[in-house]
Amino acid sequence: MPTFSSILNSLPQPEETPAGVTRHLGAFVFACLVIGLAVFGAGIYWEKPGLIYTAVFPVCLMTTGALAYVYLEIKDNKPFFKDPGAWLAERLDDRFAQEKRIAAQLAVTGLIELRRMRTRLEADLVRAERWLDVLKPLSMLAPAVLIVLTAGVFRLPDLVQDICKFFVAAATIGVVVAATAIYQGLIKLRILSATLHYAIELAEENRKPSFRKVSRKRGQPV
């Protein structure tokens, strides 16, 4: 019996940069972020402007690493020498052909089981979309809270404002990362849903009775 993960792994995936390169770049960006925050916090704590200005260098390195990461992620997907429409159509043809092959393999599975898998998958899609609906207002609420806290309305001490900035910024980053991860997962699950729908249609067609043509000569005397 096929599983969701086995079907998803067999579906066509976009060309990706070797995982080791992006993993190292991600670790480099995270390390620069931690070092920059640590130096910036130390400068605020000891009231050393030099340390605060020094935190700019890890931030610049982090930005460079992030740009390199984005470039490596999209460089294989950008059609430099082709018409964009033709390039997208070719990729769609290749993926659709592979999805049809996988759907034909799934069609031999029990129709009832395929329908159950489709129902379960659609329920998870709805649940993920609801989480996105929750995260979207949070991504706008967090910056609004930061503006209110730092506008001087509550007359908070500078140290408290800095702590609030740090935690609200971390919460904003977390919300954005979570929303991005859910959105990327939804894209793959929608491809999986389309493949299951196609497999169910094939299984239903295979169950339809085929009518055989009866010869008129049958039963006539020789």
Tens digits of residue pLDDT in 163-201: 877 788 788 888 888 888 888 888 888 888 888 888 888
pLDDT of residue 141: 81
List CB contacts of 202: < 8 A, sequence separation 6 or more.
103, 104, 106, 107
Average pLDDT of the chain, as a whole number: 76
In tens, the pLDDT along 107-160 reads 887 788 888 888 888 888 888 888 888 888 887 887 777 777 777 666 777 777
**Mean pLDDT lowest among 21-30, 37-46, 90-99, 186-195:** 21-30
What pLDDT is stored for residue 185 in this prediction? 85
Please report how many Cα atoms fall inside a 13 Å half-sphere around the Cα of residue 176, on the Cβ side: 10
CA atoms of 162 and 146, how far apart (whole Å): 10
Q: Which residue reads 């049958």 in tokens?
A: 218
**Per-residue pLDDT for 96 more than 70?**
yes
Model pTM?
0.54
Give the list of residues 6+ apart from residue 150 with CB closer than 8 angstroms, or none.
Answer: 161, 164, 165
Burial label, 195 (beta-carbon count in 10 A; 0-12, 13-18, 19+): buried
Of the pLDDT bands very low, low, confident and very high (cuts 50, 70, 90), residue 20 is: low
Mean pLDDT of 74-90: 63
Residue 100: pLDDT over 70:
yes
